[in-house]
Amino acid sequence: MAEHLADLSVRGLDLVDPSALSQDAKALMTEECEKIAPFDEKKLEEILDLYIRTGIPVHSPGYMGRQFSGVVPLGGVVEFVSSVLNQPSSFYEAGQLPNVAERLMADELNRFIGWEPGRFAMVTTSGGSLANLTAMLAARNQKFPRFWPDGAAGLEGGARPAIAVSDDVHYSVSRAAGVMGIGEAQIVRLPLNGRRQISIEGARAALAAAERANLRVFCLVASAGTTSVGAFDPIGALADLARERDIWLHVDGAHGASLLVSDRFRHKLRGIEKADSLTWDAHKMTFVPAPCTLLFYRDREASGGAFRQRASYVFDEKPDIYTELDSGDRNFECTKRPMIMSLWVLWAMYGRALFAEKVEYLCALTQQAYHLLHAEPDFETVHRPEANILCFRYRPHGVAEEDVHALQVAIRNRVKLRGRFFISKVNVDGVAALRVVMMNHEITVDHFRMLLEEIRGVGRTLHGTHWNPRRNGGCS
């Protein structure tokens, strides 16, 4: 691992044929069936080497593809200790320090959210998808109190439960709606403005139309850093609109909530103190091992509304000073990793500045990359980055409009297979764009220049006589 972390060469994903990897992995498995096989240090070394070689090198300057990050190594050491101790943290008696650490980190981070001390709550969940689902359940059960015990049969007045979301909302929100029994027809899509944020005027009209269609919108989901382009919705204005209509406002800040720790970028979440709940993935821009997600509630009482049941084998009949710190009644998981420990230890050791400086560097680097693209006549940007996500296209002279989509897809695939850089792609207004996510502080603007040269070289080859997007679907 030390050698792996010290390797700062530019490299992307070494994609291996699954059948070949399966053979390599199977060859490392013992054939002993009757007794415990003796420990083989050489075999363990080979297994770990295979694991490292076939993983995405998130610490390399060539990795710019996804929102999971290279971790602060000390966080990985803490994860090792947590794995060996194996303390599930949904209940205080099973994980004493993790439960205390959750309270401490909640208070530390709430300084940047701004809710009333002692009135808010925070629980950890295994990923932003589960946090979004949990918050939406709390919202539904608050607005429809009979839904939990009676299901849809408990609805009164004939209005159908609905949620309102942005056109760029993360797919986990729509998935959560399906899990909750809310059909696609009851998801109200809110239009975007030119910056790919929820349009307040459009949202107001869409909510009014939903009401006329006998839909009862109980939750509006805003984004603080959309997955597609990293846009931040106008949280304060949406909170005012939600309050007018008695709607719960949940902010999916899985990616962008970490900007709160930065004095320079906290304004991106202006109005967050008015929200009802907030998802915050620490394993993204606070650089700890995944999963480590924090789900905040403005009202502590509301945090207990997502799940409503009792189980005598885990829930005590008479609360005391110990069970007061239990979170098992407020999160879906019973056995939950003590994921807060890696974040708390880093915060305890280094303080806020470790995270703020890294966030600020990556956001500034993304702005540099954006301005660099403007000087390149064969590239176009599709948005102005608000944080560390940047989407653009390779658009040399002579590419037909109908071929632009396929060309971006083909470039991304070819770059990935070459193994020097790892980037992603996303459709913006129905047309593919190349997408970089700056998650590694080892990346410099020179590395981005190298990426552009790689894209340009691949694009020129594809744009030549050997590439026909209508023949091969752009996957050459």
The DSSP result for 381-433, as a single string, is ESS--SSSEEEEEE--TT--GGGHHHHHHHHHHHHHHHTS-B-EEEEETTEEE
Residue 11: band (very low, low, confident or very high) from pLDDT cuts 50, 70, 90: very high
How far apart (Å, rounded) are the C-alpha atoms in residues 221 and 164?
6
Residue 314: band (very low, low, confident or very high) from pLDDT cuts 50, 70, 90: low
Is 84-350 in CATH node 3.90.420.10?
no
Q: Residue 476: what pLDDT? A: 40
Residue 469: band (very low, low, confident or very high) from pLDDT cuts 50, 70, 90: low
Q: Give me the residue label for tokens 């949990």.
A: 134
150/301: higher pLDDT: 301
Domain boundaries, the chain: 84-350, 353-472
Phi/psi of residue 361, nearest 5 degrees:
-65, -45
User: What average pLDDT does the segment 88-102 reach?
Assistant: 86
How far apart (Å, rounded) are the C-alpha atoms in residues 162 and 144?
11
Among the listed ranges 2-11, 223-232, 261-270, which one has the minimum average pLDDT value? 2-11
Residue 152, pLDDT > 80, answer: no
How far apart (Å, rounded) are the C-alpha atoms in residues 390 and 362?
11
Nearest to 470 by CA among 416, 378, 404, 426: 404
Residue 429, pLDDT > 60, answer: yes
Identify any residues that bridge with 123 across adjacent strands, giving them in sequence order.
295
User: What average pLDDT does the segment 116-125 reach?
Assistant: 94
Residue 66, pLDDT > 80, answer: yes
How far apart (Å, rounded) are the C-alpha atoms in residues 183 and 171?
14
User: What average pLDDT does the segment 333-349 reach?
Assistant: 92
Identify any residues that bridge with 393 across adjacent strands, giving them in sequence order.
380
* Average pLDDT score, the chain: 91
- Number of Cβ atoms within 10 Å of the Cβ of 282: 29
Q: Residue 474: what pLDDT? A: 47
How far apart (Å, rounded) are the C-alpha atoms in residues 432 and 21?
31
- Number of Cβ atoms within 10 Å of the Cβ of 307: 15
Q: Residue 317: what pLDDT? A: 64
Dihedral angle over CA of 33, 38, 44, 46, nearest 10:
-70
Among the listed ranges 84-88, 214-218, 342-346, which one has the minimum average pLDDT value? 84-88
Q: Residue 473: what pLDDT? A: 47
Calculate Rg over the CA atoms of the chain: 24
CATH of domain 353-472: 3.90.1150.170
Neighbouring residues of 312: CB distance < 8 A, sequence distance ≥ 6? none
Residue 466, pLDDT > 80, answer: no
User: What average pLDDT does the segment 296-325 reach?
Assistant: 73
Summarize pLDDT for 267-294 with one digit per residue, the tens. 999 999 999 999 999 999 999 999 999 9
Q: Residue 242: what pLDDT? A: 97
Summarize pLDDT for 253-267 with one digit per residue, the tens. 999 999 999 999 999
Dihedral angle over CA of 177, 181, 186, 187, nearest 10:
10
Q: Residue 95: what pLDDT? A: 83
Among the listed ranges 165-169, 222-226, 321-325, 412-416, which one has the minimum average pLDDT value? 321-325
Q: Residue 332: what pLDDT? A: 80
Token readout for 251 is 């902010």
Edge to edge, what strands does the sheet with 187-190 contain? 121-125, 293-297, 277-281, 248-252, 215-223, 160-166, 187-190
For the entire predicted model, the pTM comes to 0.92
User: What average pLDDT does the segment 199-217 reach?
Assistant: 96
Q: Residue 309: what pLDDT? A: 57
